[in-house]
Amino acid sequence: MAVDGVVLEVQGVSKSFGALAALDGVSLAVRAGDVYSVIGPNGAGKSTLFNVIAGLYLPTAGRVVFRGEEITGLTPEAINRRGLAKTFQITNIFPEISVLENVRVACQSRAGVSGRLSSLWRSPDVERPVMELLEAFGLGGRRDDLAENLSHGEQRYLEICLALATEPTLLLLDEPTAGMTPGETKEATALIRRIAQARGLTVLLIEHDMSVVMGISDRVAVLHFGEKIAEGTPDQIRSDPRVIEAYLGGADD
């Protein structure tokens, strides 16, 4: 359960790769129901932080607490079963099967289904939530198309559907609008916020597009060379001199 409304705590997390310190004592607390964004210049450590939270990397120091339970060192699968799902910078879907089958597989993984899948795929317990997700993201009409035939923006939507199909409490979105057109980006931003509110979902977000970050976030944390240099509301972050200085030295990654 969330403790005092906090669903995720990152406590003094460091991560080194040999002599490179990718994260240095990063702490943050994400409250239930918030959209919380992590930004920073190139090489700031944002993706490393996400990979530590999701169990893909073991931190060198510090710990991660999710819904009051320490998850440091658990496998990504074990963390997912506890209600945390992650999307990736590079689209992570099954390109050679249909859109519908992609989401069915994700639904079944959450339920721990085993055995012959063909009969289970016809179950209304699986079919109903699959179609609800596809319709929410405008993919209902593409249900029988191979995933590889979707546009880039549609593939990004499908990946979010796969993550949501596991019924997470916390959704980690790593560059969800990467490669989208401005129109797709605006639509995706509104959709992510709407889905989060409708499902009572907490979202932790990495995003290049600052207009997305400032338009969707309740709180924002800024990383620079592996350290958290600022945290606050979008308005506070916009005017923070440390953030302005950090971004003067290079492009956002």
CATH number assigned to the domain comprising residue 49: 3.40.50.300
Q: What is the mean pLDDT of residues 242-247?
A: 87
Segment 180-197 shows an average pLDDT of 85
Instruction: Judge whether residue 251 has pLDDT over 70.
Output: no
Q: Which residues pair with 69 in a beta bridge?
A: 66
Specify the pLDDT at position 252. 43
Q: How far is CA 109 from CA 23, 115, 165, 183, 198, in A?
A: 31, 12, 9, 33, 23
CA distances (Å), 132 to each of 97, 138, 165, 222, in order?
A: 19, 10, 10, 35
Asked if residue 221 belongs to a domain, the reply is yes
Average the pLDDT over 130-155 and give the result: 91
- Whether 62 maps to a domain, the answer reads no
* Torsion on CA atoms 202, 203, 204, 205, rounded to nearest 10: -170
Range of the domain at 117: 34-56+74-248
State the average pLDDT over residues 41-66: 95
**Percentage, residues of the chain above pLDDT 90:** 52
Q: Give domain status of residue 64, yes or no.
A: no
> pLDDT by residue (tens digit) across 96-121?
999 998 888 877 665 554 433 444 44
Q: What is the pLDDT of residue 226?
A: 96
* Tokens at 152, concatenated: 């880039």
Do residues 55 and 84 lie in contact, with contact meaning Cβ atoms separated by under 8 Å?
A: no
In angstroms, the CA 175 to CA 206 distance is 5
Average pLDDT of the residues in 233-250: 85
Task: Tell me the pLDDT band of 153, cut-offs 50, 70 and 90.
Answer: confident
pLDDT of residue 164: 87
CB atoms < 10 A from the CB of 183, how many? 9
Both structure tokens of 71: 């998850």
Q: Is residue 31 pLDDT above 80, yes or no?
A: yes
Q: 9-23, 91-105, 140-154: which range is least confident on average? A: 91-105
For 17, the enclosing helix (H) or strand (E) is: strand 6-17
Predicted pLDDT of residue 122: 54
Look at residue 139 and tell me whether its pLDDT is greater than 70. yes
Q: What's residue 223's pLDDT?
A: 95
How many domains does the chain contain in total?
Answer: 1
Cα dist from 2 to 30, 40, 91, 171, 194, whole Å: 10, 27, 30, 15, 22
User: How does residue 192 score in pLDDT terms, banded at 50, 70 and 90?
Assistant: confident
pLDDT at 74 (0 to 100): 96
Is a pLDDT exceeding 80 seen at residue 206? yes
Q: What one-character-per-residue DSSP string does 146-193 give?
A: BGGGS-HHHHHHHHHHHHHHT--SEEEEESTTTT--HHHHHHHHHHHH
Inside any domain, residue 45: yes
pTM for the structure as a whole: 0.84
Of 28, 59, 38, residue with least CA distance to 224: 38
Helix (H) or strand (E) run with residue 125 in it: helix 124-136
Of 34-38, 99-103, 110-114, 159-163, minimum mean pLDDT range: 110-114
Question: Which token pair is 110?
Answer: 């959450």
